[in-house]
């Protein structure tokens, strides 16, 4: 007799989809066709072969054999199906090996704590049946339990004997099935050392829903309702299609596939002639231009020609405030004000009066967001005005013309010849070297230096 206690557990939701599959497999009409299977001289009813399982999964879910075998194997490993031949080995063999469905009583989702008492009774039964010849780890566990719950050992032995007596009165086929079921259950709940432990779930997630009433928090109410922007995602994916190495390849070749790092060498931040794809990408959206350090550099060159470089410098300085150390905010804000916003500032930026007023107000209590409005204003100024003009400029057009467009190299004729995989300098090393050189940091230069990749 097994004692059981129901407890709330997050395991439950993990098992449920698996159980749906198991239930579908046992459907009288659409499930697997169960048959008698022969196990040596005994006929076991209501069984199926490994092949049956794989084929059913392939058909039901329209998947290939490899995936079906994988899924089926997981069902066995999790104790929902057990093998009749070699019952200690919980794997799915895609052949005529016989298998049976585990009784729901023993499903891992039932979450009865597999108690020490139950395990002791099981091992005792086995010990008696095998006349003391238990397997190593089971023998060890048996001895440990004997010590730990010695005070109830009489009860254990009595239960074990009673269950053995009852089972002797069953037909051989039933006895075999019940023994296999129980064994499969314990293989899952007390796995042999070194074996896969399916019970492992990682650190417990304290699901607060059980201890607290959760009222649904509704989001962005009716005011914000918009029709789905139909083609946004389609357009984006199409635009970036040829830039996506996984969709379109990677000129001249993907370093991970061919071990040739030319692709990276051609796209460093210090390269003198950028690639065509890269220059093209700057025209997709303003943020693409700004987030590429080389793009930003080239854009700065253009702005300098237009005598509006202070806008980009201001934007960079604001970024530096927003993402920099907390302690340096007041100092940086002061400097930015002096350089860009104060009347007669050397790099004065044209911010509208309302924004300026708000910013000046905020300067009294400088925080990291004090420049946000002004920064946004200048950002959109550049985006709407300088950026489109840059794309039409000779400077940009020349870049495009001169840009490198490496040919996609053909697959190596000798695929077995492995190239030497060159190492590259650790970015921490590069940064350290730069600092040691004592390079002065311009105010407004990007705080973050993207690590250079050199071949």
Partner 1 sequence: KDDVIAAASAARARRSGRVGLATASRSTSDPHPAEMATHELHPNDTLTTLKMESENLKAKLEEERAKLHDVELHQVAEKIEALGQFVMKTRRTLKGHGNKVLCMDWCKDKRRIVSSSQDGKVIVWDAFTTNKEHAVTMPCTWVMACAYAPSGCAVACGGLDNKCSVYPLSLDKNENLAAKKKSVAMHTNYLSACSFTNSDMQILTSSGDGTCALWDVESGQLLQSFHGHGADVLCLDLAPSETGNTFVSGGCDKKANVWDMRSGQCIQSFETHESDINSVRYYPSGDAFASGSDDATCRLYDLRADREVAIYSKESIIFGASSVDFSLSGRLLFGGYNDYTINVWDVLKGNRVSILFGHENRVSTLRVSPDGTAFCSGSWDHTLRIWA
Q: How far apart are CA 127 and CA 161, in angstroms?
A: 11
Out of 224, 364, 365, 392, the residue judged to bind partner 1 by CB under 8 A: 224
Stretch that binds partner 1, among 43-51, 253-261, 300-308, 310-318 (CB under 8 A): 253-261
Q: Contact between 416 and partner 1 (CB under 8 A)? A: no
Out of 45, 113, 427, 455, the residue judged to bind partner 1 by CB under 8 A: 427
Least separation in angstroms between residue 367's CB and partner 1 is: 10
Q: Contact between 365 and partner 1 (CB under 8 A)? A: no
Q: Contact between 327 and partner 1 (CB under 8 A)? A: yes
283, 287, 450, 305: which is closest to 379 by C-alpha?
A: 287
Question: 69 or 399, CB closer to partner 1?
Answer: 69
| Strand ranges in 233-380 using DSSP code E only, listed in sequence order | none
How does DSSP assign 372-427, residue by residue?
Answer: HHHHHHHHHHIIIIIHHHHHHSHHHHHHHHH-B-PPPPPPPSSTT-PPP------H
274, 290, 275, 297: which is closest to 407 by C-alpha?
A: 275
Residue 257 CA neighbour count, 13 Å, CB half: 14
Q: What binding mask, one character per residue, do residues 81-120 give for partner 1 by CB under 8 A, x or -?
A: ----------------------------------------
Out of 230, 346, 392, 438, the residue judged to bind partner 1 by CB under 8 A: 230
Out of 6, 40, 213, 417, the residue judged to bind partner 1 by CB under 8 A: 213
Output phi, psi for 431, to 5 deg. -65, -40
Residue 451: Cβ-neighbour burial (10 angstroms; 0-12, 13-18, 19+): middle
Neighbours of 195 (CB within 10 A): 14
Q: Contact between 241 and partner 1 (CB under 8 A)? A: yes
Least separation in angstroms between residue 281's CB and partner 1 is: 10
Out of 25, 71, 176, 309, the residue judged to bind partner 1 by CB under 8 A: 71
Q: What binding mask, one character per residue, do residues 255-274 give for partner 1 by CB under 8 A, x or -?
A: xxx---x-xx--x-------
Number of residues counted as binding partner 1 (CB under 8 A): 99
Q: How far apart are CA 220 and CA 222, in angstroms?
A: 7
Of residues 133-152, those binding partner 1 (CB under 8 A): none
Q: Which residue has the tokens 């840059």?
A: 390
Coil, strand, or helix at residue 193? coil
Q: Contact between 429 and partner 1 (CB under 8 A)? A: yes
Out of 91, 128, 158, 247, the residue judged to bind partner 1 by CB under 8 A: 247
Q: Contact between 67 and partner 1 (CB under 8 A)? A: yes
């Amino acid at each position: 007799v097994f004692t059981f206690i129901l407890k709330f557990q997050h395991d439950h939701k993990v098992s449920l989809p698996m159980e749906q599959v198991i239930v579908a497999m046992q459907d009288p009409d659409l499930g697997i066709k169960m048959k008698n299977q022969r196990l040596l001289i005994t006929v076991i009813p209501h069984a199926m072969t490994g092949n049956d399982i794989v084929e059913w999964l392939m058909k039901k879910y329209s998947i290939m054999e490899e995936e079906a075998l994988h899924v089926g194997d997981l069902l066995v490993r999790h104790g929902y199906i057990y093998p009749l031949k070699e019952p200690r080995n919980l794997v799915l063999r895609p052949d005529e090996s016989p298998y049976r469905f585990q009784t729901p009583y023993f499903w891992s989702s039932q979450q009865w704590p597999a108690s020490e008492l139950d395990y002791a009774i099981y091992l005792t039964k086995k010990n008696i049946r095998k006349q003391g010849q238990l397997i190593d780890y089971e023998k060890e566990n048996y001895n440990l339990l004997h010590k730990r719950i010695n005070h109830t050992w009489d009860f254990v032995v009595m239960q074990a004997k009673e269950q053995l007596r009852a089972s002797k009165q069953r037909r051989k086929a039933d006895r075999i099935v019940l023994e296999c079921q129980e064994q499969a259950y314990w293989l899952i709940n007390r796995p042999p050392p070194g074996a896969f432990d399916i019970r492992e779930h990682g650190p417990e997630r304290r699901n607060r829903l059980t201890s607290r009433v959760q009222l649904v928090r509704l989001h962005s109410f009716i005011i914000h309702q918009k029709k789905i922007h139909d083609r946004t995602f389609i357009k984006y994916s199409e635009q970036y299609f040829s830039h996506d190495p996984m969709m379109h390849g990677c000129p001249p070749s993907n370093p991970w596939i061919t071990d040739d790092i030319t692709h990276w060498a051609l796209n460093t931040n210090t390269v003198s002639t950028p690639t065509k794809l890269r220059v093209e990408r700057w025209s997709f959206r303003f943020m693409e231009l700004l987030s590429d350090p080389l793009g930003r550099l080239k854009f700065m060159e253009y702005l300098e020609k237009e005598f509006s470089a202070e806008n980009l410098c201001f934007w960079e300085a604001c970024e530096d405030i927003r993402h920099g150390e907390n302690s340096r905010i007041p100092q940086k804000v002061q400097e930015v004000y002096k350089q860009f916003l104060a009347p007669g500032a050397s790099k004065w930026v044209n911010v509208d009066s309302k924004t300026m007023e708000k910013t000046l107000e905020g300067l009294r209590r400088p925080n990291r967001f004090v420049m946000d409005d002004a920064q946004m204003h200048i950002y959109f100024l550049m985006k709407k005005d300088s950026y489109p003009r840059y794309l039409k400029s000779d400077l940009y057009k020349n870049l495009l013309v001169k840009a490198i467009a490496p040919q996609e190299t053909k697959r190596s004729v000798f695929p077995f010849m492995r190239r030497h995989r060159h190492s590259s300098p650790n970015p921490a090393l590069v940064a350290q070297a730069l600092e040691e050189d004592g390079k002065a940091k311009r105010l407004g230069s990007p705080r973050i230096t993207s690590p250079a990749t050199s071949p």
